[in-house]
Chain A
């Protein structure tokens, strides 16, 4: 069974059809890239999957169970991790505390009034940080990290609930080219080892073609192509609306 199954998804904003009739699946251990020119509906589509927007129609199933219309925090509990285009971390906490926070929430211990948070799930948090190469910076405050390192922290946080699916919105935005390749290589390695499904949007075509197993292409809210990177690269319609218009950057 597919990890994520999207069927006939649609959303309009005051008469503008942002997304219409989009269907696709993501399999375990697969990296699926969602690409398209600006205004194609990528963000709208993404936000309907992560619970920030409610679809007008269509169905979203996670492992066969509908998650349509659930709040982001409920979707997370079903095993969906997220990273953001602009990193969202807790600036007043250290790197390790950020991960500990996610682990505390995963075990539903956020209402605890007496335990010392600093001592909770340290080992688990450290091994997650080790995985993303941030263990040596675990005691640094998140507020002072370099941007690329913040992205790694976010990845560790997103992995904290042992997700089945990772939703990554522009995972390499704002990073230097070398860092981009390194981060996506790391992500690919982790998700394949853990058999996690990944759906990501991305502007950098080098990143997309280097790491995506499959690609889906949106234009004006509609799915216009789907397939392996080489097939999509060769697709005439994609070249016309997207690659042909100088979008290769």
Chain B
């Protein structure tokens, strides 16, 4: 790259910094004060860009006042949506477990996506270029768009304004105090409700503004929500939770990496050519992984204060009561005789349910007894699926062998990622799992030659003797049933107890000779193997694999299943998976807007059953019957 090209890429990176910073700053503020990781923040950005598009159309494309007015109004509109969301939804769940809050905001993502689809349609919408800023600025023989120059200025200006707001006003002092110690601020008699609402409104406004400002640079589309939230998570985690300057620094670093990856283009390394522009996603997540391992609290972040009440005491785990064992055998008996009467559709649905029950149970082993929440469990499911498919088609292995190796592929991925993951804890651990899932997704999505890119792999069919749906059903029942039994066994075994010991009291675990990190790493790998097996079976049941199989929504599906059933129960994940898979199938057949319905269902469930379905039932059963649930 010549010097002038470097300068231009640097300026491009600066222009990209602004929008990313706005979204991340809002996310960081909200997390700092309310401790809610707002998954819907990317959706606010998306709504911002759509609103800006419509308002500009309304005011007329030529007017500069109309353009800038539309952008500001779009931001304010999103801020208003933020107020409504806070008052109607979040206010009711501040006391709920962290994960339920996350689920509720993900429900919101689904609802907002479908509302946007309903209002603006599925087509990409191209906004106008900014009136009066259509030209470019000559810099060393290259052109920088004038609008980009404005963006370069806007970011630091807003950083400055936020800084003034946070350090020079009483409101800002309260926000900073709440970020450091929320309970203390409450104890001092500050009206927290009002503080939370205003912070959420400001955060939403910033996200909406960040989106609106991008309208001349990128088309409004329905994929922005998840893409942007992924980026924003990275920025917040790299910069440090709750730190505004950290968000700016991280947004700057990430944008520069992106700009230079695109700017470098294709490079030759030892005769092989790499299109660097394809590695932007991987590059930014690699940066995040490095930062988190070296500085677990982010570049400018501080270790989080532990909440004084760590929530309700963890539930006991006991062996199955007699009635429960009998019920389990009854269900198994029904599942064995069922194929004699059931139609193909039911069998296919049940295969899905078995697969996801295993997927959810493996996630539960990690979240419940392991105490490590994963936002990216789909990575190991996807590795198993792709591993099986590629071993079958590229390596030419027999189907049976390819399926048998799928848990190993999942476990290998978990072994490598787990080494980093177990070094962290809490929200940071969860975010790192998300980062690794995104790396896996990006690699699969961008590596056309090997993984089929966005099209995925087709022709992943089972062996001759398994082509009958009934035979495949029995194979799945056997594999998943045996795995579930094994997982239950592990939870009751010394290894499961050791994980719980580490979750309950790391200090005590350490002082009775337990190397917690090592056990967590092994648990992560075991869990990866089970998820990989689920993915392998899934691939052969569908005959194809696509990148959606390991994208964020699949990870969230897993979380929904586990939480729906109840984290502190053993049967919960299985019940949750069954209900969720059946519900998704039902709803998807009924309406085009199934996502919104699903989202509303999730939100409703979170509000109705904060302990999950099985937890709800367990609390209402006599202890004699509920044991081992």
Q: Which residues of A contact B (CB under 8 A)?
A: 50, 71-74, 76-77, 82, 84, 88-94, 97, 100-102, 104-106, 109-118, 120, 141, 143, 157, 160-161
Let me know if A72 and B511 touch, CB within 8 A. Answer: yes
Contact of B498 among A91, A105, A120, A157 (CB under 8 A): A105
Let me know if A143 and B492 touch, CB within 8 A. Answer: no
> In the complex, how many residues of chain B place their beta carbon closer than 8 angstroms to a beta carbon of chain A?
30
* Closest chain B CB from A201 CB (angstroms): 16
Let me know if A118 and B494 touch, CB within 8 A. Answer: no
Let me know if B490 and A92 touch, CB within 8 A. Answer: no
The closest CB in chain A to the CB of B313 belongs to A143
Contact of A111 among B314, B489, B507, B522 (CB under 8 A): B522
The docked-state distance in angstroms from the alpha carbon of A211 to that of B551 is: 63
From A76, A88, A100, name the one whose CB has the most chain B CB atoms within 10 angstroms.
Answer: A88
B496 interface residue per 8 A CB criterion? yes
Let me know if B492 and A88 touch, CB within 8 A. Answer: no
Q: Provided the pairs A91-B505, A141-B316 are in contact, do residues A110 and B514 lie with their beta carbons within 8 angstroms? A: yes
Q: Provided the pairs A92-B313, A141-B316 are in contact, do residues A161 and B493 lie with their beta carbons within 8 angstroms? A: no
* Closest chain A CB from B174 CB (angstroms): 31
The docked-state distance in angstroms from the alpha carbon of A110 to that of B512 is: 11
19 pairs from A and B in contact (CB 8 Å cutoff): A50-B511, A71-B510, A72-B510, A73-B510, A76-B512, A84-B507, A84-B511, A88-B505, A93-B316, A101-B501, A101-B512, A104-B498, A105-B514, A106-B512, A110-B498, A116-B492, A116-B493, A157-B512, A161-B512
Let me know if A101 and B498 touch, CB within 8 A. Answer: yes
B495 interface residue per 8 A CB criterion? yes
Let me know if B316 and A112 touch, CB within 8 A. Answer: no
B504 interface residue per 8 A CB criterion? yes
Q: Provided the pairs A77-B513, A105-B514, A118-B319 are in contact, do residues A89 and B508 lie with their beta carbons within 8 angstroms? A: yes
* Closest chain B CB from A53 CB (angstroms): 14
Q: Provided the pairs A110-B495, A161-B513 are in contact, do residues A91 and B504 lie with their beta carbons within 8 angstroms? A: yes
Let me know if A101 and B497 touch, CB within 8 A. Answer: yes
* Closest chain B CB from A149 CB (angstroms): 15
Let me know if B500 and A115 touch, CB within 8 A. Answer: no
Hey, which chain A residues are within 8 Å of B508, CB to CB? Answer: 84, 88-90, 157
The docked-state distance in angstroms from the alpha carbon of A94 to that of B492 is: 14
Let me know if A90 and B316 touch, CB within 8 A. Answer: no
Hey, which chain A residues are within 8 Å of B276, CB to CB? Answer: none
Let me know if A160 and B512 touch, CB within 8 A. Answer: yes
Let me know if A94 and B513 touch, CB within 8 A. Answer: no
B317 interface residue per 8 A CB criterion? yes
* Closest chain B CB from A144 CB (angstroms): 8
Q: Which residues of B contact A (CB under 8 A)?
A: 313-317, 319, 489-490, 492-498, 500-501, 503-505, 507-508, 510-515, 519, 522
Contact of A76 among B494, B504, B505, B513 (CB under 8 A): B513
Let me know if A117 and B497 touch, CB within 8 A. Answer: yes
The docked-state distance in angstroms from the alpha carbon of A93 to that of B491 is: 13
The closest CB in chain B to the CB of A74 belongs to B513
Hey, which chain B residues are within 8 Å of A116, CB to CB? Answer: 319, 492-493
Let me know if B511 and A111 touch, CB within 8 A. Answer: no
Let me know if A73 and B514 touch, CB within 8 A. Answer: yes
Let me know if A118 and B495 touch, CB within 8 A. Answer: no
Let me know if B510 and A104 touch, CB within 8 A. Answer: no
Let me know if A73 and B513 touch, CB within 8 A. Answer: yes
The docked-state distance in angstroms from the alpha carbon of A21 to that of B504 is: 37
Q: Provided the pairs A72-B511, A101-B512, A113-B489 are in contact, do residues A90 and B494 lie with their beta carbons within 8 angstroms? A: no
Q: Provided the pairs A88-B508, A91-B505, A93-B497 are in contact, do residues A117 and B492 lie with their beta carbons within 8 angstroms? A: yes
Let me know if B511 and A104 touch, CB within 8 A. Answer: no
The closest CB in chain B to the CB of A100 belongs to B497
The docked-state distance in angstroms from the alpha carbon of A89 to that of B315 is: 14
Hey, which chain B residues are within 8 Å of A91, CB to CB? Answer: 313-314, 504-505
From B313, B319, B508, name the one whose CB has the most chain A CB atoms within 10 angstroms.
Answer: B508
Hey, which chain A residues are within 8 Å of B503, CB to CB? Answer: 92
The docked-state distance in angstroms from the alpha carbon of A100 to that of B489 is: 17
The docked-state distance in angstroms from the alpha carbon of A105 to that of B317 is: 19
Q: Provided the pairs A73-B513, A111-B495, A116-B319 are in contact, do residues A90 and B490 lie with their beta carbons within 8 angstroms? A: no
Let me know if A94 and B316 touch, CB within 8 A. Answer: yes
Hey, which chain A residues are within 8 Å of B504, CB to CB? Answer: 89-93
Let me know if A112 and B510 touch, CB within 8 A. Answer: no
Q: Provided the pairs A88-B508, A93-B316, A143-B313 are in contact, do residues A113 and B500 lie with their beta carbons within 8 angstroms? A: no
The closest CB in chain B to the CB of A92 belongs to B314
Supply 5 further A-B pairs (C-beta < 8 A) apart from A90-B505, A110-B495, A118-B319: A76-B512, A92-B500, A94-B316, A101-B512, A141-B313
* Closest chain A CB from B182 CB (angstroms): 22
The closest CB in chain B to the CB of A107 belongs to B494
Contact of A90 among B315, B500, B513, B522 (CB under 8 A): B500
* Closest chain A CB from B158 CB (angstroms): 37
Hey, which chain B residues are within 8 Å of A115, CB to CB? Answer: 493-494
Let me know if B500 and A110 touch, CB within 8 A. Answer: no
Hey, which chain A residues are within 8 Å of B510, CB to CB? Answer: 71-73
Contact of A110 among B316, B319, B505, B519 (CB under 8 A): B519
The docked-state distance in angstroms from the alpha carbon of A73 to that of B500 is: 17
The closest CB in chain A to the CB of B522 belongs to A111
